[in-house]
Amino acid sequence: MTSPSQPAGRPDRPVPSALSALHDRITREVSDRAARLWDVALALHRDPELAFEEYFAADLLSGELERAGFAVTRGVADMGTAFVAEAGDGNRPRVALLLEYDALPGLGHACGHNLIAAAGLGAALALHSALRSEPGPGPPGTVMAVGTPAEEGGGGKAVQVAAGVFDDVDAALMFHPGVNDWVRAPLTAQIQLRTVFHGRAAHPTGNPTDGVDALAALVQMFGALNVLQRRLPPGSHVQGIVTDGGRATNIVPARAEGLFGLRAATTDALEALVAQVTRCAQGTADATGTTAETSRATTGYHHFRDNDVLSDRFARHLRAAGITLGPPTPGVFLGSSDIGNVSTAVPSIHPFVAILGPGHSDHTPEFAEAAAGESARRVMLASALALARTAADLLVEPGFSEMAWKRQREKPAAGT
């Protein structure tokens, strides 16, 4: 992927008057849409949909964009609930505003994706309208709104990256509601592994010596992983469950299956952990007389690579809206997200903006309730404004996109 050739500049330099005027127009556009954006956020909150089933959300969001003049392509990357909406001249710079909208089983929007979707929608609509009101032909470039399903499980963004959706994109921008105001997200790499042990069935009292207990092997593997956990580096862990332990208590299980969630601070560290867990399975099989098959059960998420040229600019614009972001707490590792895969391909941001205090947590009923509250409304609108202004800077400010690409090239794809 290439980056546009632009002269370098400083991210903190004074804003030219023309760009300042564009920022002011964006502020008015977001304000004018505030009620509708909140209606969209609440509509998504009332009708939560799980991964790859977000048909109401995709129709609602893509319809809003289409009515505003965006050219919408639905079903991108062979996902029925994914879409790409574009406005502008089709050329670069190309800025993608990311919309998440899947919910959690049993908890609804306890991760606040309804707010991510509404903020991304608002940023795209406000920026497009503000650019159209520019005197003259307007600046070159393209505004994209990318509907990204299945962040909570399935990795819609990872699928889109592989399908080329982010080819020739110069920045990917989103925010995430949370319980901290952090300018960048310490998101780890993650994957799920499935291990199946094969033994031999027998009657536990009639012919016990003929049996090879696959479940006992799986239980033994959990013991080996407990030993492994003690020497893993910070940010790495393994959490497993039994998904098949046999069918009857009077039959020695011939088959047992476990599902293991692995996380690590970097993508390289995750691959090392995958190799360790695979060796644990094989060693257990050798010790118990079973055979073991370990496979990747999900799309892997890369660790997130923050582009501080962009995230610092977003923080500056959010501060103008009354919210101050700081650095993440050292040594704290949060969850994982498929935004990590996007961040390996293009300059990306994923700041956290609090809708609850640090004593709380997302993925809880309390957070789901907060995602429809007044604090959520304020954060969503402020984030829409900061996203739109950051995107405007990428399209209009000479050298800014190139600075982001320069920082992107300075960071390794897999390591820290």
Domain boundaries defined on the chain: 17-187+304-410, 193-296
Which pLDDT does position 412 carry in this prediction? 67
Which pLDDT does position 360 carry in this prediction? 94
Report the C-alpha gap between 31 and 36 in whole angstroms: 10
Which pLDDT does position 15 carry in this prediction? 56
Q: Give the residue ranges of the chain where pLDDT is below 50.
A: 1-14
pLDDT tens-digit series, residues 47-103: 999 999 999 999 999 999 999 999 999 999 999 999 999 999 999 999 999 999 999
Question: What is the full DSSP assignment across 101-168?
Answer: ---BTTTBSTT-HHHHHHHHHHHHHHHHHHHHTSSTT----EEEEEEE--TTTT-HHHHHHHHTTTTT
CATH architecture of 17-187+304-410: 3-Layer(aba) Sandwich (3.40)
Domain 17-187+304-410 shares a fold with domain 193-296: no
Say whether domain 193-296 belongs to CATH 3.30.70.360.
yes
Which pLDDT does position 103 carry in this prediction? 98
Question: CB–CB of 193/295 below 8 Å?
Answer: yes
The pTM is what?
A: 0.91
Which pLDDT does position 332 carry in this prediction? 87
